[in-house]
Amino acid sequence: MPVEPNAAARLVDQIFDLQRAVRCVAANTMRGQDTGVALQGVLRFVGEGESRATHLAERLGVSAPVLSRHITELEEQGYVVRRPDPRDGRAQLIALSAAGAEKLRAIEDHRAATLQGLLQDWSEDAVEQTARTLEKLTESLRTSARATTARSANTTEAVEE
């Protein structure tokens, strides 16, 4: 059964409100830290495993020059390391350093503790249900984004032929 337009519009409003609230909480709890929200996002994706810079930029939805500046800053702080991709010497692989893994763990622990404090009046079931709902929403959006990317690639290939 398709989602009604009003329900979809309400969900969009709630997502934007959630994004703003998360940004506000993050800004209030990260004052004085050496990595801002953007750098923390990069650290999180790098923490998923060694990856090419182009793949990271695509996952983060940023341009290659923007990601390059972030990676340079994280490298200067000792949180990431770069090495040439053995399959393509022009490309670089980015990975967390030991200090970067420790920093990421500290960030994630801090975020979890902050959220735990903010959700004191929530039940464990409500937290679990919300997590499942957000996972489902995220997967639906990712699936749609992958399909759109695949359609664009197929259209580009067809035009080039």
In three-state form (DSSP H/G/I as H, E/B as E, the rest C), the secondary structure along 5-34 is: HHHHHHHHHHHHHHHHHHHHHHHHHCCCCC
User: pTM here?
Assistant: 0.74
61 backbone φψ class: left, alpha, beta (φ>0; ψ -120 to 50): left
Per-residue pLDDT of the chain (161 residues; tens, 9 = 90+): 788 999 999 999 999 999 999 888 887 777 667 777 788 889 999 999 999 988 898 888 889 899 999 999 999 999 999 999 898 888 889 999 999 999 999 989 988 999 999 999 999 999 999 999 999 999 998 888 666 655 555 554 544 44
23-46 exposure pattern, b = at least 16 Cβ within 10 A, e = fewer: eeeeeeebeeeebeeebbbbbebb
User: To which residue do tokens 């995220």 refer?
Assistant: 138
The SS3 assignment for 99 reads helix
